[in-house]
Structures are given as C-alpha cells and as structure tokens.
Chain A
Amino acid sequence: MAEEKKYFIGALVSNKSGVLTRISGLFTRRGYNIESLNVCATENPDISRMTIILKGDDYVLYQMIKQMDKLEDVKKIGCANELDCVYRDLLLVKVKALPEVRSQIVEIKDIYKAKVVDLSPDTMILELTGDPEKLDAFLKVITPYGILEMQRAGVIALARGEHTLKDRDCYGDHIG
C-alpha cells in the first residue's frame, strides 16, 4: 500500500436534502473514513460547497473523486492538494480555568491570537481560527489545563488567485 496522506477534496454540489447522505455513503460503503467534512450554501443558493478531508493513498483519492463525480448532484469536484490554497478551521474549546491558572491560559491565547468568548468562575471558552496545524498546536498546549468539551467546524479551503472551483474544466488535470 502506498503512503497514507491527507487529501482535501472540494466539491460544488446541489443544495438539496439527501445530497450529504449520497456522498457520505460512498465513503462508508468502501470502508474509507472522512476525517472532516464541511458543507454550506454558497453565493449561488442552488449550490453548496463541500470540503472533505480524506486520509488514504492516491488510489483511495482517485476512486473517491471519480465515484463522487458520478453522482448527479455533484457539479464540480477537485483535489486542493496541488493548488496553492488558504486553509482555515474554527475551534471552540471549553477549558477548566480556575482563578489560579486563568492568567496562564490568557497568556497562551494571546500568543495564538485566540479569543475568550465566555468566562465563568471555573471555565473559559476560547475561540481560534486558523489553519488546521495552528489549531492542533494550540490544543496541545491547552490540553493539560483540562478540556471539558470542544468542537471544530471542519477545514475549508480556497485556492489563491483567480482560480475557482466552478471554472475548473474537470478534475482531469490532476487525476489520471
């Protein structure tokens, strides 16, 4: 088996009920796991944009892109890895923050440019936006204080410059 990598698949899909089921089913049926999935409506109300993070090798990537492309509801699809893209994820994390450690946590969040969005006598909710690696690094530092609960929104990606997914001819430019 080839080396396992992380792939970012971007897709423009019909903004209709049931589309997510059709797509997620393609993955589970083949025993592939979606690491992260983000979907939301776009500037065109008929179209949603989906960003999927898939872990696997090239074979898995090609199969999933080709299989997704076969769905009637998938209008455009591409893999972001070869492009120069901006990646963003959003994190909300509730940490235990008793008064004696509160200032330490505030110091960490300043370094990472996170925001405090809620404060209670014993807890704090922090918000951080950034590329996924930055969020990972932040979580590593904050974990020892005790994470009560957390949620990430899922990675989204846009290519830099004039390149847009909707103008892409097909995914054939990088999938053989």
Chain B
Amino acid sequence: MNGADVLINCLLEQGVDTIFGYPGGTVLDIYDALYRNGKIRHVLTAHEQGAAHAADGYARATGKVGVCFATSGPGATNLVTGIATAFMDSVPLVAVTGNVGMAFLGRDSFQEIDITGITIPITKHNFIVKDVNELADTVRRAFHIANSGRKGPVLIDILKNVQVAECNYSPAVPEKYRSDEVNAEELKEIAAAINKAKRPLILAGGGVIASGATQLVEQLSEKCGCPVTYTLMGKGCVPDDYEMCLGMTGMHGTKAAVKATIAADVIIALGTRFSDRVALNRNEYSAGKTIIQVEIDNAEIDKNVKSDYHVMADVAKTLQALLPLLESKPSNGWRKQIAEYKSADAKSRESGLLSHAVIDAACKLAPEGTIAVTDVGQHQMWAAQRYTVKYPRGFISSGGLGTMGFGLGAAIGAYCGTGRTCTLITGDGCFGMNMNELMTAVACKAKIVILLMNNGVLGMVRQWQKVFYNNRFSQTTLNRGVNYVALAESMGAAGLYIESRDDVEKTLARAYSLAENGPVLVDCRISCDENVFPMIKPGANYDAQIERIEDN
C-alpha cells in the first residue's frame, strides 16, 4: 500500500472514528485513501480553523484524541489558532498536514510553508515525514505523545512523495497510556498538612477533568470538609449543584469562591498552573497559606505560585493514594462558614439581566446531558458563573488562549463525538469570526442551540474600556444591523430571537425542540451595558473584588 493508506490504517489502529478537515492539493492522496477505505467519517468544515476547533471540541467532549486534516500552505496556517488553543488548554489533538514533495521542498513552491517550524511553540511535538518507512511509527508516536502526561497537540507534516510511496504496513496495537502509580510514602507530608488544616480549600483545574479524577475530588471534599473552587478549565470537576461547590474562582470568580479563598489556610491545587486569571497577584496569592500542588507537568510546579508541598503526578492516581491517609472531618465550623458564603452568594445572583435569564433558562430547559460550549468574552464568564454543569466534559471553553471564534467549531466537534445536544453560548463578536461553520453544523444536522448574546458591541473589551479607559469606546461598537434570524435561515438553520425576559422560556423551549433536527440560532438582543461582575482587576488581590463599575 502507499503512504496515504498507511496513514489511514494507522488512524484506524488508534480508534479514530471522525476526522475534521478540508482537502487540497498536497493531501489529495490522503483524501483518496480515506475515500477508498471508507471506514472513517470525515466532517468537511468551511475553513481549516473550524476543523481544528472541531477536533479540539471532539477531544474535550469525548476524552479521545481529536484529529484534523489540512492541506499545505494556507490550509496548514489556518490550523494554527486551533492548535494553539488546544496547546494552551492541554487538549490531545493530532493535526495532519500535507506538504509539497521532497523535490520541491525549500524552493518556495506553490502552497509550500514550513508548518513544523511555525508550530514548534504551540505543539507538544511535531514531525515532518520525509520517508514512508517512518510514517507508521511517527503516527503511533504522535498519538502517544498527544494523549500521555500533560496532553496536547501534535502535528504531522507529510510530504506529497511520501503519501504516494509504496511500503509494507504491519499493523500494531496502540501502546497503553500509563501514568506512574503514586507511592503513599511520598504523600505523608501532604496528608499531614491537610489533616492539620482548619480551613482547607480545593482549587481544581483542567487536570482534574483530563485525569478523570472528578469523583475523587468529591470524595476528598466530603472527607475533609473542603469546599471546591475551580478554574475555568476545571468547571465540571464536581457538579455545580454539589453543596460544597463554590463555583469558579479568580478574576470573575463567584463571591463565595473568592471569600473562601481569602479565608482558607491550606489550598489543595489539583491540576492547575495558577494562571494570571486565577492567581492575579502571584506573589501575594499564597501569603499566609499553605499551598499544596498536585501537577503532572513538572514545569508547572512552582512556575507561577510557589508551593509548600507538591507532587508531580496524575491527579487521580494521587488522590487514590492520598484519600486513605486523610482524617475524616464530618462537621466543623468551616463547613458552616462555607454554607453561609454560599447562601449570601445565591441571594446576590438575582440580577435582572437578560443574559443571565437566558443562561438560567437554558440550564433548565436543555435536555439532560447537554454540553455547554462557549466562545470568549462576557458571555463566557456569565456561562462560567451561572451555567449549572453536572458532569465532567459538560463545559467546553477556550481558557488559556481565549480564542474568539472557537465555540461553533468546538460545538460541532462535541456534537459529532457524543451525539448529545450542545448549547453554544456566544456573542456577536465571536460568532462573526467563524460563523461560516454554521453551514457545517447544518450539514451534520448537529443538535446545537446557539445562544447569540447580541449586544452590538465587543462586550468584554468595552467593559474594560469602561473600567480602565474612561468610557472611550475605541472600535468596540459592532452594530451592523445584521439580521441573524435571516442569516441562520439562509444557511439552512432555524433562527429565533429573544427581546425581553418574557420571551425567554418559551423561545428556548422551542429552540431545544427544533434542535432535534439541526442547529438553531437564537438572537438574544441584550443591552450593551450588561457587565460581568464580580471582578478582580489584573494583578490585584482577592480582597479587592468589585461588584459594580462604580466601585472602580
């Protein structure tokens, strides 16, 4: 068989059932092999960026490695934002690109680009395959690298002549992903610190979801009476309606999460890097507290916040070994305090904002098992603060890179991977960036309800202009009079709109029922002055949380 056939066979070895991509000159042979093989579903997106985000959404929703294809040159460069998004959020992804043949390499040939050079800083590793005999093992290694340790994207650039070259293929069984067992001896000091803690608190990051440690986090919380706060990437680490869950922490964290973080004496950080959106002031964040960090990536230990105790290991493996060493604390003053923080917070969440009403209603009306996907900006933070997520991988959002335009592709990927309904919470700014993928969603009959928070502005940037730039709204007004209902319909999706709180429940009920047949866009016409609060300014301490623009 030829190199292209070897590639398809190796993908099948790895259990790949769906590929997101876009064909072109240097991947013709790969697409031909895909066609002849016929065993893998290919989702043709509108743009390669959409394919990368879809593969990312597929991976986040399923826990499997996402795969995308693109041709050389512009096809490959269009993947870059998607690969970088996956890299920043540690999502396992294998991107396959074609490149010109060896005879044309380095001559600035048509659609030639050094995509391995371009993607060095945004991949865990990348390969350029120049010899067909190395192809099979390269593909196998790529999957192993993407899905082991701290997960992340890997790119394989395959020269055109390699795709057509003949070689022998011998099937192989994929290597098992192993993570080292954790020795309980190593955890004695950590266990002692937690047992001694009066006000312990869990800070759960994306590592909890990636390692499948969610039930263990709940057990830890139960046993030691630790409230759970999470980063954006950690949403879903415990059900949002769990009594000890205080919600998201950090810049736009809930009041309860922030108060509890201030009061805590021991912070148990699980699979998180203490990004600048969490430890806004990295030097003072840990003042007077004991920091315990469980982290699989050694380079993240002590990178942003210095830990007092740490273990370099998988979160699930660590918690399995740690739990038996911990003393049970069924009731104490800290639990009571947490309950008070929570009830005070719940009271202050009644806002009257239309955006809030839409998100609250979506939680209520979406079918069981719906996955929430967001874009980036105000709507993302409203969703993170308010959307009740009940299980891991039920919330998908671009955290580290903050990629506007991520959502629609990711929702398509999440739908294709799980078959479950997706609620995409987006804004008019983000939707405008990659709205072409609505055509893809229609073609897939994807059950996606798009809640378009349409305020005619770039809401989050505008909010910062209010807080930091004295209301000078430089280039953040988008009002272009787009008829989103007609736009959706023109692409074959259903279009609805919401103008007031009275419409919300009725319209969303209809949206979720229509979504059984394909994507539905709901144009939610919200005010451009709905803001995201509470807020802690960059570099500030947790005690400087503001609740209104006027507090600034």
Binding site for B on A (CB under 8 A): 18, 21-22, 25, 29, 62-63, 66-67, 69-72, 176
Contact = CB atoms under 8 A, between A and B. Distances in A.
Across the A-B interface, give the 9 residue pairs with the lowest CB-CB distance, nearest first: A66-B299, A72-B125, A66-B298, A67-B299, A22-B120, A25-B120, A70-B299, A25-B121, A29-B121
B357 to A, nearest CB: 44
Nearest to A70: B299
A21 B117 contact: yes
Given A18-B116, A72-B145, A63 B303 contact: yes
A21 B120 contact: yes
Given A62-B302, A63-B303, A70 B121 contact: no
A44 B298 CA distance: 28
A48 B302 CA distance: 30
B297 interface: yes
Contacts of A176: 302
Nearest to A66: B299
Nearest to A68: B299
Contact of B297 (A18, A63, A70): A70
Interface in B117-163: 117, 120-121, 124-125, 145
A69 B125 contact: no
Most A-side CB within 10 Å, residue of B116, B297, B298, B301: B298
27 contacts: A18-B116, A18-B117, A18-B120, A21-B117, A21-B120, A22-B120, A25-B120, A25-B121, A29-B121, A62-B302, A63-B299, A63-B303, A66-B298, A66-B299, A66-B301, A67-B299, A69-B298, A69-B299, A70-B124, A70-B297, A70-B298, A70-B299, A71-B125, A72-B124, A72-B125, A72-B145, A176-B302
Contacts of B117: 18, 21
Contacts of A25: 120-121
A19 to B, nearest CB: 11
Contacts of A70: 124, 297-299
Interface in B357-374: none
A71 B125 CA distance: 7
A66 to B, nearest CB: 4
Given A25-B120, A69-B298, 7 more contacts: A18-B117, A21-B120, A22-B120, A69-B299, A70-B298, A72-B124, A72-B145
Contacts of B302: 62, 176
Nearest to A171: B298
Interface in B365-399: none
Interface of B: 116-117, 120-121, 124-125, 145, 297-299, 301-303
Contacts of A22: 120
A167 B297 CA distance: 23
B435 to A, nearest CB: 33
A18 B115 CA distance: 12
Contacts of B297: 70
Contacts of A69: 298-299
A66 B297 CA distance: 9
A176 B306 CA distance: 11
A78 to B, nearest CB: 14
A165 B125 CA distance: 24
Contacts of B116: 18
A18 B298 CA distance: 24
A171 to B, nearest CB: 9
B137 to A, nearest CB: 13
A69 B299 CA distance: 9
Contacts of B299: 63, 66-67, 69-70
Nearest to B145: A72
A29 B84 CA distance: 14
Contacts of A29: 121
A72 B297 CA distance: 14
Nearest to A64: B299
A70 B302 CA distance: 16
A100 to B, nearest CB: 52
A62 B298 CA distance: 10
Contacts of B120: 18, 21-22, 25
Contacts of B121: 25, 29
Q: Which of A21, A29, A70, A71 has the most chain B CB atoms closer than 10 A to its own CB?
A: A70
Nearest to B149: A70
Residue from B116, B117, B299, B303 having most chain A Cβ neighbours under 10 A: B299
A128 B38 CA distance: 67
A70 B300 CA distance: 11
B182 to A, nearest CB: 15
A70 B312 CA distance: 13
Nearest to A26: B121
Contacts of B298: 66, 69-70
A73 B239 CA distance: 40
A13 to B, nearest CB: 13
Contacts of A18: 116-117, 120
Contacts of B301: 66
A62 B302 CA distance: 9
A22 B302 CA distance: 23
A29 B145 CA distance: 22
From B120, B124, B301, residue with most partner A Cβ within 10 Å:
B120
A93 B147 CA distance: 51
Contacts of A67: 299
A21 B121 CA distance: 10
A69 B117 CA distance: 20
Contacts of B145: 72
Nearest to A28: B121
A25 B299 CA distance: 16
Nearest to B125: A72
A67 B298 CA distance: 8
B245 to A, nearest CB: 32
B168 to A, nearest CB: 24
A62 B304 CA distance: 12
A149 to B, nearest CB: 31
A24 to B, nearest CB: 10
Nearest to A29: B121
A128 B124 CA distance: 41
A103 B226 CA distance: 80
